Amino acid sequence: MNLDKKFKKYLLLFGLLAFIFFVQSFYITAQEYLKYKKYNKMTAQVILITKISDVIHQLQRERGLSSAFVQSKNKIILDDLKEQKIKTDKAYNKLKKFCQSQKDCLSEFVKKDKKSFLYLLEVLNKQRDAVIKFKLSSQEILDYYSNIDENFLQDIIKIEKNIQLHKKYNDIASLVYINYAKEYAGLKRPVGFELISSKNITPKQKRKFVSLSDRENAYIDLFLEYADKKFVDQYNQILKNPFYNEIEHISKDIVYADPKALSSISPVYWFRVNTKYINALHNLHKSLTSYVIQNIQVALKSTRIELILYILGAFLFALLFVGVIFVLIKMIKDEQRMRQMIDKYIIISSTDTRGIITDASEAFCRISQYSKEELIGKPHNIVRDPIMPKKAFKEMWDTIKSGKKWRGKIRNKKKDGEYYWVDAVIEPNFDKKGKITSYTAIRQDITDAIKLDELNATLEDRIAKEVELNKQKEHQMILQSRHAQMGEMISMIAHQWRQPLSAISSLSGALELRCKLDRLKVDETAAAAAKISEHAQHLSQTINDFRDFFRPDKNIEKTSYPVLIDNALSIIGTSIENKNIKITQEHTETIDIYTYPNEVKQVILNIIKNAEDAILDKQVENGEIKIITNKDTLIIKDNAGGIPENIIEKIFDPYFSTKLKKDGTGLGLYMAKTIIEKHCEGQIKAYNKDGGALFEIVLKNLKTKHETTNER
């Protein structure tokens, strides 16, 4: 298969362009994917900040309540503290669960060391017990909780520094600053609680309170600088709340250390108004977080759409490129596969102008049994069969040398000496000047077709011979079976003749004695003569029955089951009954049957004799053979225990016998089946029933066949 060079050139050029566009699309797609992953990571980080902030908020409340409880030992505060611990644990568990679900995005922030925020809270319960048992001072509580909060805030700063995406960075920075402002407001709450409770403010306590207030205000200023206008407005709304004015008013009293003013203020009141303020900051933080996440989600969605478009573009260009490559590869592979198939299945050879083999296909090597190395360089007549006439090869060479194609059937010889036939086509190959340079021969193996033709030519004769041979074998088997039965019947006849022959001998002896004594009387002599005649007729009838039974004539005659059975029993009945075996007959409805009577009698005789042998072999007491007929059906059964199940399927096979010790031929039942089913066109089957073997014969009425034969 030769590919068009121009088509290949344009196809390769188109494939190159598609590849360039694919690379460019892939690069842009990769950039968009990284951007998408960055936004996705940023979303997880912002949510992490939210989760951490929520834990900080709950810890701040727990810190304030713990400090206040240690100072006041107030039961109401203790109840609030217990409830707050549950909220803190819930917030912490949410944080931990989120970190575990976002390991890929947060791996650089969630570290498995003892300084990680995931482990700092593990020891919190010990400190809580110390608070309840008053083992810690208010300052120690503030320091412990503040240390945890500071670690959390440092983690938030790390996350915030990792997120640097212009405007969104400002929003996230404002999240950090509002968290710090809330933390210092939370620290200011227990400190103020302690100062109000003591009624006596030292300069050191005052400086600490002022320092916390200044830090809170500084982070509020940073928040207002970076936050979006609507969140600045939301903060300004917080400032308008009465609780904020109360905080400012009480803070001034603390700063100016006015004992009279402080004595009128309840520490619990201070704690609660500060809690309202911190909760307001926390709500502001939550709103800002939702806003940031929403903006990131919008950017994420936009990036996702761009990514999908670029992926589709890259995919299309990739499809084009792959398609071109696939077409090229397929064309090349098809060409290679075609060459391989031709080499494997087509008998091809090439020779030079002298007939020397220059190439040979695998199929040629296989059929000739020579390897390629053995063929190349050898004359092509290496496979010539001497039986082929030289005239045929001369005609072939004359044709191809003249530049024409030659076709014909050739008988070649294999390496092992066997022959094979091919239908060959040989063509010359020319150079540009029209000169013959070589020859190519393509052949088809027609050995089987030639052998089939030869077989068909002799098939009818072979079939006829086989049929005739089978007929002879079958006839021989029938004769063999009849001879075996004839021997048995002669033995039975000899047994039956003993009694009448003995009677005749006795009567004749008595007559001879009376004659010698001269005492013969006419009436006694006549009676003795009549008796002798009766016995002689019985012997004659036995001979006639025996002769009729084995009469070689094979004609369809009209008969019936009772007639056939009586004829058979007339020969063997007495012998069987003398062996104490009872024979009973039951004829339900008798009809005339047109069949081959002698052959059917032979079958009946064989089955009855088999039943007799089985009863005698098994020494059955009260042995019995039942013969039942009804229309076209004959049943012969015995009470000898039946046929073993492992051989019942084989009893009709030729030469299969269970009477090997009694010289059984194994042909009796085989011939019975042949006679009933092939000759009489009926059916015969055997099975066990009621403790014995049962043979059932159904004869086809051959009346029509009989009438047709008579007409002829």
pLDDT digits (tens, 9 = 90+) for 117-173: 556 656 677 777 777 777 878 778 877 777 777 777 677 667 666 665 444 557 777
Instruction: State whether 351 and 307 are in the same domain.
Output: no
CATH number at residue 362: 3.30.450.20
Average pLDDT over residues 331-355: 83
In a domain, 239, yes or no: yes
In a domain, 452, yes or no: no
**Distance in angstroms (rounded) separating the CA atoms of residues 712 and 703:** 14
pLDDT of residue 511: 74
Quote the DSSP letter at residue 675: I
In a domain, 323, yes or no: no
Instruction: State whether 22 and 139 are in the same domain.
Output: yes
Query: Pick from 314, 338, 368: which residue ends a domain?
Result: 314
Tokens found for residue 553: 């004539």
pLDDT range class, residue 534, cuts 50, 70, 90: low
Phi-psi region of 623 (alpha: psi -120 to 50; beta: other; left: phi over 0): beta
Cα–Cα distance list, 394 to 357, 401, 412 (Å): 18, 11, 16
pLDDT in tens, 252-268: 877 776 666 677 778 88
Average pLDDT over residues 15-22: 68
Per-residue pLDDT for 356 more than 90? Answer: yes
Query: Pick from 314, 337, 367: which residue ends a domain?
Result: 314
Question: Which of 180-194, 409-423, 516-530 has the highest average model confidence (pLDDT)?
Answer: 409-423
Contact 368, 347 (CB under 8 A): no
Prediction pTM value: 0.38
Beta strands 624-630 and 582-587: pairing type? parallel
pLDDT of residue 406: 92
Q: Which residue has the higher pLDDT, 664 or 593?
A: 593
Comparing 542-556, 602-616, 646-660, which segment has the lowest mean pLDDT?
Answer: 542-556
CB-based burial, 238-272: b 16+ in 10 Å, e otherwise: eeeeebeebbeebbebbeeeeeeebeebebbebbe
pLDDT of residue 521: 76
Instruction: State whether 566 and 516 are in the same domain.
Output: no
pLDDT of residue 685: 93
CATH number at residue 641: 3.30.565.10
**Distance in angstroms (rounded) separating the CA atoms of residues 418 and 303:** 78
Question: Which of 452-466, 589-603, 687-701 has the highest average model confidence (pLDDT)?
Answer: 687-701
**Distance in angstroms (rounded) separating the CA atoms of residues 421 and 448:** 8
pLDDT in tens, 275-307: 899 889 888 888 888 887 787 777 777 777 877
Q: Which amino acid is at 288?
A: L
Average per-residue pLDDT for the chain? 79
Comparing 323-332, 336-345, 567-576, 683-692, which segment has the lowest mean pLDDT?
Answer: 323-332
pLDDT of residue 663: 54
CB-based burial, 26-61: b 16+ in 10 Å, e otherwise: bebbeebeebbebbbbbbbbbbbbbbbbbbbbbbbb
Q: Which amino acid is at 350?
A: S
Phi-psi region of 118 (alpha: psi -120 to 50; beta: other; left: phi over 0): alpha
The percent of residues in the chain predicted with pLDDT above 90, rounded, is: 15
Q: What's phi and psi for 405, nearest 5 deg?
A: -85, 140
Comparing 215-229, 306-320, 551-565, which segment has the lowest mean pLDDT?
Answer: 306-320
Beta-bridged to residue 445, according to DSSP, are 422
Instruction: State whether 193 and 161 are in the same domain.
Output: yes
Beta strands 436-445 and 557-559: pairing type? unpaired
**Distance in angstroms (rounded) separating the CA atoms of residues 75 and 70:** 11
Average pLDDT over residues 198-205: 73
* Structural domain boundaries, residue 482: 458-552
Per-residue pLDDT for 516 more than 80? Answer: no
Instruction: State whether 536 and 666 are in the same domain.
Output: no
Question: Which of 371-385, 470-484, 654-668 has the highest average model confidence (pLDDT)?
Answer: 371-385
Contact 348, 442 (CB under 8 A): yes
Tell me whether residue 492 is exposed, middle or buried, using C-beta atoms within 10 angstroms of its C-beta: 0 to 12, 13 to 18, 19 or more. buried
Question: Which of 109-123, 394-408, 502-516, 540-554 has the highest average model confidence (pLDDT)?
Answer: 394-408
Instruction: State whether 139 and 285 are in the same domain.
Output: yes
pLDDT in tens, 605-630: 889 988 988 999 899 988 999 999 99
Quote the DSSP letter at residue 241: S
The percent of residues in the chain predicted with pLDDT above 70, rounded, is: 79
Average pLDDT over residues 97-118: 63
Instruction: State whether 231 and 210 are in the same domain.
Output: yes
CB atoms within 10 A of CB 494: 11
pLDDT range class, residue 2, cuts 50, 70, 90: very low
Per-residue pLDDT for 640 more than 50? Answer: yes
Q: Which residue has the higher pLDDT, 21 or 88?
A: 88
**Distance in angstroms (rounded) separating the CA atoms of residues 151 and 158:** 11
Instruction: State whether 637 and 648 are in the same domain.
Output: yes
pLDDT in tens, 173-199: 787 788 778 878 887 888 888 788 776
pLDDT of residue 9: 66
Instruction: State whether 577 and 624 are in the same domain.
Output: yes
pLDDT in tens, 450-501: 888 877 777 777 777 777 777 676 666 666 655 655 555 565 555 556 556 6
Instruction: State whether 242 and 107 are in the same domain.
Output: yes
Average pLDDT over residues 86-110: 75
Q: What is the 3-state secondary structure (H, E, C) of 519-565?
A: CCCHHHHHHHHHHHHHHHHHHHHHHHHHHHHCCCCCCCEEECHHHHH
In a domain, 5, yes or no: no
SS3 415: coil
Matching residue, tokens 């015995």: 638
pLDDT of residue 165: 45
In a domain, 602, yes or no: yes
Per-residue pLDDT for 76 more than 90? Answer: no
Instruction: State whether 378 and 512 are in the same domain.
Output: no
**Distance in angstroms (rounded) separating the CA atoms of residues 601 and 622:** 26
In a domain, 338, yes or no: no
pLDDT of residue 223: 87
In a domain, 275, yes or no: yes
Query: Pick from 505, 531, 552: which residue ends a domain?
Result: 552
Per-residue pLDDT for 635 more than 90? Answer: yes
CATH number at residue 541: 1.10.287.130
For the chain, count helices (H), then strands (E).
21, 12
In a domain, 482, yes or no: yes
Tally of domains within the chain: 4
Instruction: State whether 57 and 185 are in the same domain.
Output: yes
